[in-house]
Structure 1
Amino acid sequence: MGNGLRCVRLDDGFSCYVPENSSGSTDEIGFIHAEIFRDECYLRGGAVLPADAVVVDVGANVGLFSLFVKRRCPAARILALEPMPETFRALWANLAGVDGVRAVRQAVGAGAEDAVAFTYFPDLPGNSTRYPGTKKLARQHPTAGALLADAREVVLPVRRLSEVLTEAGLPERIDLLKIDVEGAEADVLAGIDDRDWPRVQQVVAEVQGHRGEAEAVLELLRGKGFSADAGATEDELDDLGTRLITARRPSCA
């Protein structure tokens, strides 16, 4: 395709675009595809998708969760947010022609900031993060550590999620807010105004548990009226201190 992208063919005839990298590794996208489509990882904690679901996908990566939602619920409306330029190009290519999905290149956090340094990992772009310290355990993994060696700084603006939601013009009700932003999950939640919290019916967040982030996110969500629990992720992620938090309003029970 050019433009720094290549097409990768995965299981069941599925293919998608990913950013070009020097290692040529497809391990990460294969793992993510299996997580989402085979294991339905983001629904494991009991989150449900109505037929006309409205989903906000924060940390959309190359768009696989958005594509999973559209396969499950063709009438769904999705706002997919991804800040990394190379990854966003792949996201845009993968979602081209998919009705009901709006892709926006944007980082979100607790407050508006003009220039924030992020770390982009070309060989493992799904691990790119504002907080590279969260990758300490991953760097000790024999395979992941080598792929994380190539790290580049990318400076990006950050906005609050409520501001982005206002501009997106989504329906009042948001059925699922999915967050997977490599250590900044609490920041994303802190960027939601009080007026927007009643709109959100369910939250699924993959959180770095070894820094106490999971406990902080659980406390925040419970304080907003959700029933929230932290479950295990895939074995490899669980070993890295990652937890999957699922929060639901009583009306979703």
Structure 2
Amino acid sequence: MSTTVYEFGNGLRLHRTDLMDVQLQRYTMEGNPNLHEPVEEECMLSAFATDMPPEPVFLDIGAAVGYYSILIKSRWPAARVIAVDALPRHLAALRSNVELNGLAPDALELAQVAVGKEDGYADFVDAGYGSAFAEAIALPRRQQLPLLRVRMRPLASLLAELPRVHLMKMDIQGAELEVLTAAREALAAGRVAHALVGTHGRALHDGVRSLLLDCGFRIVLDDPAPPMQPDGIVLARHA
């Protein structure tokens, strides 16, 4: 295997500089078929293949360096993929990984924005994969990390600009429930067919599940601690 490129069991490739040692260790642990997060990936691919419209839309909120966005586009070239992330360096890495996987430079739509509870600007801490709004990070740690001023948009405004989203994946380091709550009306109206939400802690996990149920979703997978993954998962389908 290349010393500069890491190839996963599904054939997707990322630059090794985009991966942490703890991730590389997880990929090779017993029972992991060399995938980023195997439980999440299996249910994501299954959901995307379910009742797929002719031009399905994948909205990747917290896309990071592009693993899932690139995977969906590689499997379903006709899909419209929108990758959303607040960090300029994540989106730069994503662009490089798009090329690494043989996709056209414009194959994905990239949006440098933090999805939050309201429209405006916010302080955002660059902590790599653990990046979050400054208010969510304890002050001592916050002071040791780069601070950015980023554009913030609510989920409802993003959904209003898109056709019905076939699958929305969201992993935004603990802000999921707040963001989903602010978009309750759009979610209840069925603007998202499938929602796959990463959860960070049992209370947030239970809150996300309850909110999606209240918005007319049916829970497909409810796992607060899937094996070989650092976070919980809620997968839901709108009725």
Do these two structures clear the TM 0.5 threshold for a shared fold by scoring above it?
yes
Q: In structure 1, what is the Cα distance between the partners aligned to 2:63 and 2:25?
A: 16
The alpha-carbon deviation at position 193 of structure 1 amounts to 6.0
Quick one: which of 86, 91, 102 aligns to 2:89? 86
| Structure 1 unmatched runs, 5+ | 1-6, 134-138, 140-147
Quick one: which of 178, 187, 201 aligns to 1:209? 201
Work out whether residues 56 and 79 of structure 2, in 8 Å CA contact, stay in contact via their aligned partners in 1.
yes
Alpha carbons of 1:8 and 1:42: their partners in 2 closer, same or farther (altered >3 Å)?
same
Q: In structure 2, what is the Cα distance between the partners aligned to 1:206 and 1:25?
A: 19
* 1:113-128 pair list within 5 angstroms: 113-114=120-121, 116-121=122-127, 125-128=128-131
Quick one: which of 96, 113, 126 aligns to 1:106? 113
The alpha-carbon deviation at position 174 of structure 1 amounts to 1.1
Quick one: which of 57, 75, 87 aligns to 1:72? 75
Alpha carbons of 1:44 and 1:16: their partners in 2 closer, same or farther (altered >3 Å)?
same
Alpha carbons of 1:106 and 1:199: their partners in 2 closer, same or farther (altered >3 Å)?
same
Q: In structure 1, what is the Cα distance between the partners aligned to 2:23 and 2:148?
A: 20
Q: Give the corresponding residue for 2:23.
A: 28
1:157 aligned partner, one-letter code: R
C-alpha distance after superposition, 1:202-249 (max 9, x if no partner) = 100001124x111111111111100125214443545xxx31001112
Greater mean alpha carbon deviation, residues 50-59 or residues 61-70: 50-59
1:158 matches 2:164: no
Relative contact order, higher structure (CA 8 A, sep 6+): 1
1:10 matches 2:7: yes
Alpha carbons of 1:191 and 1:31: their partners in 2 closer, same or farther (altered >3 Å)?
farther
The alpha-carbon deviation at position 35 of structure 1 amounts to 2.3
C-alpha distance after superposition, 1:63-92 (max 9, x if no partner) = 110111112212111111010121121122
* 1:215-230 pair list within 5 angstroms: 215-228=206-219, 229-230=221-222
* Aligned partner of residue 198 in structure 1, secondary structure: coil
Q: Give the corresponding residue for 1:243.
A: 232
Alpha carbons of 1:11 and 1:174: their partners in 2 closer, same or farther (altered >3 Å)?
closer
2:13 aligned partner, one-letter code: S
Q: Give the corresponding residue for 2:59.
A: 56
Which runs of at least 4 in structure 1 moved beyond 6 Å after TM superposition?
Answer: none
Calculate the TM-score normalised by the size of structure 1.
0.71
C-alpha distance after superposition, 1:114-166 (max 9, x if no partner) = 2x222222xxx212222235xxxxx9xxxxxxxx9963322323111222334
Work out whether residues 203 and 247 of structure 1, in 8 Å CA contact, stay in contact via their aligned partners in 2.
yes
Q: Give the corresponding residue for 2:31.
A: none
Calculate the TM-score normalised by the size of structure 2.
0.75
Q: What is the total number of aligned residue pairs between the two structures?
A: 216
C-alpha distance after superposition, 1:7-65 (max 9, x if no partner) = 53334664334767xxx9554377587225xx252443762333742111000001110
Q: Give the corresponding residue for 1:143.
A: none
Alpha carbons of 1:161 and 1:19: their partners in 2 closer, same or farther (altered >3 Å)?
farther
